[in-house]
Structure 1
């Protein structure tokens, strides 16, 4: 085994144990085929919009039990070395690597998971709630136990075949569920373990949350490749090598190669772009930065001599590009009835000239789409039939045909009844389509909205752009006050779509999507509590909620979802998903896309090795969904400088 020279010096000085004692008995060996043996040393300079931005957390996969591999086509070990389940997938046993350590050298054990589960999730006063993967198909919490220091058992009252997919997503402890916490450090701040801490969680909780946040508190141990060294709010964050990181390269050399990572906070996107062009950063993920898009590629290439940054284009895996969807539960009843008429939405989709958006926003890349989840999802790659399902959904209402759109509107009574050149509601009332979006949203969404406005006004529909204060957005959307969402995209959709099904079916916890009040009602659907709500105003309930029309598209989607999520056989599960997609075709579109799978911009310094290129990756990259954490899935701990001395 080998290690960084700076760590070897600490071993010689007696400040660290030997590397063999710091690594687990069987370290995780990074498996990527494009790797070359690296050199230790140097600094990596990154940029984010703020010091509390989630962007940098997407660089480190260290807390994850299981990992995505091959652009999410496969799942492999992480902290968990192996696992098994029975035929019905209702019980899962996970075996962790013996000899894991936190970054301060303390042993990691399954007790750190049970501490999170019992003393944080199980504490009603604590903000952590049970993540999706801890509930069965009936919504009941799993039984979680740790028979020993390296074994974890999850038992469900129904089959739970999606469990490994849930555990692979996100960067746990950074963006997704925590799943573990350093008990040896945090118990001193927890009232259940320290009598000196106030029993009132309102008093004790603030300090506990600060202490557990390893992205702000340098004293908090972590399992990531780099640990926090210093935090200057609003300015800069510095990470240093974790001497106990549990991963090695294929030659058995402990990772990471790079000594330190410095993340600068730059709030102004234009300032960030100028600094990028001047070579102030070594790696930039355009999606995470929120600033670099395809429109910047030309200027970035023109400044390559100064910046030394190569422009890499990876597939986004995106299913929509900038999308549009109505609020299916819009408060005003006449407009809501029209929104729920699929012919109205189909007419609007046919009126949208996506070719213009593809040229103006996406520079003739990607593929025009009515709107789906990611074309890279496993159920779309399962066989030829699966590919046909995807294409049928993608192409269902994608063809631009203003005359067909007008004919459909005439058919449903959306006509110009007063002769002013603008169509009215079926009852003769004024019809205005409002394109709602958070004020300050990025230019590509605004550009798409302007195209929608132009195309829809061409067929006689009055359309208005409506920027909304961002702070009011969520409350107004959940209350049915906003008519539409126009500044989102289906960023990917994880490979097993039922792990993140909110785009496919309205569910509790995901009210931000196209049927927010239905999503809230799903929490009590088919329970005794549902009867208590009947006869009350849906918009006055807490939270506001609407039950689905019997036999309607949402009820059918819910029924299929309940059947699919507990199906252990993958192909039978996919078949249920495809039935759900048929509802999206026949009764949709519930959301409208523009261009799918366009490229994302990735910038990497020409001297930074082991950053994969498009051709190295199984699906040409997959950097849309946050839950397929990019670049963490490609292990930045393996990146190295070909000339480390020039980057210190």
Structure 2
């Protein structure tokens, strides 16, 4: 079967994700029309008219016959410091396929901000660069196109995938990129028990066993799985590899000097977080570490500033053959407080602000527009694609048995959903934007847009318990015996004992979560429940949640990308971070020796805490459907498995409770910065929410350019 081109952490098995790798591509769903849509300015309040072209090409664009480069690089070529541009590019460079892109000018610098240089915020910088991607998402994840991989195919069972990489790729230091750089990561990190890296989901079969990776030559890699792995292309396109996703490659020629297998004098602590190997391999901190991204770090000052300059060996060009990026330099300044960042934006000290990273929200729109003449920042609003907005969900595995029994009663959760005044949230928190929702997976997933039936399933889930009806909520609680037993005006358990709804949330939660929590407390107290807000330090959250000590989570949201199955944890418990943590952990040990270990130990005292689902219950039903779906090679059949899983959520849910779906994210760009897409340019209006769909990397910021680069040097 040929799916070529464009038709389409930490070691510890018990704590590894069991989500299977990858998917087959459905190009038919892409938004690829050139027809003008809307105003063409994506909500901009001023600025020159933008291109009205919509979407991205799904077939690879043939590279032009000749290439050109930045004048700065041309000078280095003339001085003999760099090879000619034709020698620096691969035989067939990737041509950016976005229809809104116009030919740009070289030069200038873009000023950006990050909250800190912590690991999490450094990953934000990597969200701007798709350079390590094997495959790429386009059209807001509806389509998959080549990346470093030029073409790919599978056998009929889709248990073996062959990846053909571009010939002539080079690292930023000019050294050849080959499949040896993948095998170095795989053999000397993932399979090396001394290192903490584990096989990522795209390298695991449906039974949890790692795939076999074999490099048959310098540009060909074969992945062999024990089971069908139809979701492999989807997995390979997701996240920024060597960024916020799995590593997938490291520059062997540079890093082997710090690895004891290749250098006997290397530090014995090579694999620790402070060891030389781990310190040196972070290309966002170490200027010496080669990269495949459009820019490379040239200056790193901890907690102050990070400067990225053009990679002269970047493997991407525009349609005219101009090597990208257009802009010479990115300068990220550390801004510790969100209010300071907002002030800098309003004062014109920033050129581009990706709102979700900077802490900018809808409440900031008025102030940003009032200062637009001073800041020169034009406001865009791209869709987030979130299926929930700020959300709430109970811990189905809460340790208290009486509370756990009540939480697992669907009518109890349905009553609380009907008591939630979502129209008020839409008005007060989301400024009338977005759609009230019971809570679903991300609204742009392919299962919802592939057919009318898919859309109908989505709407049924969205609307299932969304109606604001406090009287209905009261009657449902009455039916459960959750009534005021002692006349104090508050509802108790059916046995008369006190009932308190603890609203646990991370203490560093964003303002929209805090505001939503206050409203939930108000709404649920209005139907007679006792509700307590309980902020928890983020550092201690995970072990308490995974062991059932916390009752609820109300500072998160669901933002899935291409489909339901490549990131399935919200749909079905397969890991310990979401709504059924102990059952999710049990899924991870199924079929392993650990499944039979500690059988006589209290589930909450097992290592790790884990518990089997109720026989025949909703979680077991979800598992059975998921196990079938992730090995199903027929995409239409996979969609039907997903729809059946959604029906379980409707019947037995809500397992997670949304507020407003698809609220927008703020994107600010200097009025002179071009090729920044408007909402109308994007196939589905944008998909900013999920890390799996790395934004803005998927829109190729390397193609942004200044109309007047000399004024932005």
Q: TM-score range by the shorter chain?
A: over 0.9
The answer (yes or no) to whether the contact 1:103–1:222 under 8 Å persists in 2 is yes
Residue matched to 2:132: 63
Task: Report the Cα offset of residue 535 of structure 1.
Answer: 2.6
Distance 2:182 2:710 in 1: 40
SS at match of 1:601: strand
Residue matched to 1:448: 516
Task: Report the Cα offset of residue 36 of structure 1.
Answer: 0.6
Q: Which of 268, 286, 293 in structure 1 is aligned with 2:355? A: 286
Q: Which of 537, 559, 562 in structure 1 is aligned with 2:602? A: 537
Residue matched to 1:29: 95
Distance 2:603 2:476 in 1: 31
- State how 1:396-545 maps to structure 2 within 5 Å: 396-490=464-558, 492-508=559-575, 511-545=576-610
Alpha carbons of structure 1 residues 67 and 411: separation in structure 2 relative to 1, 3 Å: same
Distance 2:447 2:460 in 1: 14
Stretches of 4+ aligned residues off by more than 3 angstroms: 198-205, 526-529
Residue matched to 1:377: 445
Residue matched to 2:46: none
Task: Report the Cα offset of residue 505 of structure 1.
Answer: 0.7
SS at match of 1:498: coil
SS at match of 1:406: helix
TM-score (norm 1): 0.98
Task: Report the Cα offset of residue 476 of structure 1.
Answer: 1.0
Q: Name structure 1 gaps, 5 residues minimum.
A: none
TM-score (norm 2): 0.89
Task: Report the Cα offset of residue 440 of structure 1.
Answer: 2.8
SS at match of 1:228: strand
Residue matched to 2:80: 14
Q: Deviations over 1:573-610 (max 9, x none)?
A: 01001111111000110000000011111001100000
Q: Deviations over 1:421-469 (max 9, x none)?
A: 0000122111010111111321110100111011101100011111112
Residue matched to 2:612: 547
Alpha carbons of structure 1 residues 51 and 204: separation in structure 2 relative to 1, 3 Å: closer
1:228 matched to 2:293? The reply is: no
Q: Deviations over 1:275-325 (max 9, x none)?
A: 111111111111122x10011111101100010000101111000000000
Distance 2:488 2:182 in 1: 66
SS at match of 2:555: strand
Task: Report the Cα offset of residue 199 of structure 1.
Answer: 4.6
The answer (yes or no) to whether the contact 1:190–1:204 under 8 Å persists in 2 is no
Q: Which of 631, 641, 648 in structure 1 is aligned with 2:696? A: 631
Residue matched to 1:136: 205
1:613 matched to 2:682? The reply is: no
The answer (yes or no) to whether the contact 2:132–2:292 under 8 Å persists in 1 is yes
Residue matched to 1:45: 111
Residue matched to 2:634: 569
Higher deviation after alignment, 428-437 or 522-531: 522-531
SS at match of 1:466: strand
Q: Which of 593, 597, 604 in structure 1 is aligned with 2:658? A: 593
Task: Report the Cα offset of residue 375 of structure 1.
Answer: 1.3
- State how 1:83-102 maps to structure 2 within 5 Å: 83-102=152-171
Distance 1:343 1:625 in 2: 30
The answer (yes or no) to whether the contact 2:269–2:275 under 8 Å persists in 1 is no
Residue matched to 1:368: 436
Q: Deviations over 1:540-581 (max 9, x none)?
A: 000111110100111111111100001011110010011111
Alpha carbons of structure 1 residues 203 and 278: separation in structure 2 relative to 1, 3 Å: closer
Aligned residue pairs: how many? 644
Alpha carbons of structure 1 residues 204 and 294: separation in structure 2 relative to 1, 3 Å: closer
Task: Report the Cα offset of residue 149 of structure 1.
Answer: 0.3
Q: Deviations over 1:461-488 (max 9, x none)?
A: 0111111122111111111111110000
- State how 1:290-305 maps to structure 2 within 5 Å: 291-305=359-373
Task: Report the Cα offset of residue 527 of structure 1.
Answer: 4.6
The answer (yes or no) to whether the contact 2:271–2:278 under 8 Å persists in 1 is no
Alpha carbons of structure 1 residues 202 and 163: separation in structure 2 relative to 1, 3 Å: closer
The answer (yes or no) to whether the contact 1:198–1:204 under 8 Å persists in 2 is no
The answer (yes or no) to whether the contact 1:125–1:201 under 8 Å persists in 2 is no
Distance 1:246 1:631 in 2: 18
Task: Report the Cα offset of residue 127 of structure 1.
Answer: 1.5
Distance 2:605 2:290 in 1: 45
